[in-house]
Structure 1
Amino acid sequence: MSCVISDDVTDAVPLVYADSVDIPVLFRDGPAKRPFKQWRTAKHRAWTTPGAFPDKDGWYAPTTTWREIVKAATEVGRDVTPWLHQAPQLARGELVARVSPLYAYLGIHDVTPKHPLPHTSGRRLTVNAVYEHGTERSAKSMLGYRLGMTMAEWACRSLMGLGQTWHIEDGGPVPALESAFKDPVRTLPDLWGLHEAENTYWLIEAKGGNVRKNRLTEGWEQLEEGTKVLHAYDHRRILCGASVQPQGDLFVTIDHDHHPGQPALPVNGKPAPAPSSPEDHLGESDDALLATARAQMLTCLALRSAPPSRLRTVALTADRSTRRRSADGLTTPLERDPISRAMRAAVRAESPSDDEQARRTITRAIGLDDFLTYRIPGTELHLGMSRRLFAACDQLHYEDQAIAARTPGLRAEDQRIADEPADEEVEEQRRRTQRRVFREAQEQERELIQERLRDAYVDGGDRQWRDLLPGQQEPRLDLDDQPDLLEAATPETYLALRRDDVPHHRR
Structure 2
Amino acid sequence: MAYQAIAFGAVEDLRLIPVSKARSARFRHRTGSLTPVEHDEPTREIRYRLRSESVTGEAALRSRGDASDFIAARLPGTGLHLGMSRRLFAACAALHRAQSEMPVNESLFLPDLVRPRHSVDDEEREEYSRATRRAYYEQEEERGPRLRAVVRHGFAQADAWSWSDLLSGRQVEVSLEDREESGLLEGTTAETYLAIEHTEPVLANARERR
Normalising by structure 1, report the TM-score. Answer: 0.33
1:457: which partner in 2? 155
Q: Does 1:478 align with 2:178?
A: no
Structure 1 contact 324–490 (Cα < 8 Å) conserved: no
2:6: which partner in 1? 303
Structure 1 contact 403–442 (Cα < 8 Å) conserved: no
1:173: which partner in 2? none
Equivalences for residues 167-178 of structure 1 within 5 A = none
Opposite residue 351 of structure 1, the aligned amino acid is S
Gaps of 5+ in 2: 110-126
1:347: which partner in 2? 50
Equivalences for residues 398-437 of structure 1 within 5 A = 398-403=97-102, 405-408=104-107, 437=135
The correspondence for 1:373, drawn from 69, 72, 75, is 72
SS where residue 78 of structure 2 aligns? coil
Structure 1 contact 383–496 (Cα < 8 Å) conserved: yes
Percent identity of equivalent pairs: 32
1-structure distance, mates of 2:28, 2:135: 35
SS where residue 311 of structure 1 aligns? strand
CA drift of 1:310 comes to 3.9
Structure 1 contact 370–386 (Cα < 8 Å) conserved: yes
CA drift of 1:361 comes to 1.0
SS where residue 500 of structure 1 aligns? coil
Gaps of 5+ in 1: 1-297, 411-428
Q: Does 1:496 align with 2:199?
A: no
Structure 1 contact 403–441 (Cα < 8 Å) conserved: no
1:140: which partner in 2? none
More RCO (CA 8 Å, sep 6+): 2
CA drift of 1:404 comes to 6.7
Structure 1 contact 312–372 (Cα < 8 Å) conserved: yes
2-structure distance, mates of 1:404, 1:432: 24
Q: What is the root-mean-square deviation of aligned Cα atoms in Å?
A: 3.2
Q: Does 1:388 align with 2:87?
A: yes
CA drift of 1:384 comes to 0.7
2-structure distance, mates of 1:433, 1:322: 50
CA drift of 1:301 comes to 0.9
The correspondence for 1:334, drawn from 20, 34, 37, is 37
Equivalences for residues 103-182 of structure 1 within 5 A = none
Structure 2 contact 79–199 (Cα < 8 Å) conserved: no
SS where residue 476 of structure 1 aligns? coil
2-structure distance, mates of 1:488, 1:430: 46
Structure 1 residues 433 and 360 mapped into 2: Cα distance closer, same or farther (>3 Å)? farther
1-structure distance, mates of 2:20, 2:65: 9
CA deviations over 1:275-298 (Å, ceiling 9, x no partner): xxxxxxxxxxxxxxxxxxxxxxx1
CA deviations over 1:93-133 (Å, ceiling 9, x no partner): xxxxxxxxxxxxxxxxxxxxxxxxxxxxxxxxxxxxxxxxx
Normalising by structure 2, report the TM-score. Answer: 0.75
Structure 1 contact 404–438 (Cα < 8 Å) conserved: no
The correspondence for 2:167, drawn from 469, 473, 477, is 469
1-structure distance, mates of 2:186, 2:65: 21
Q: Work out the number of aligned pairs and report it.
A: 189
1-structure distance, mates of 2:129, 2:4: 22
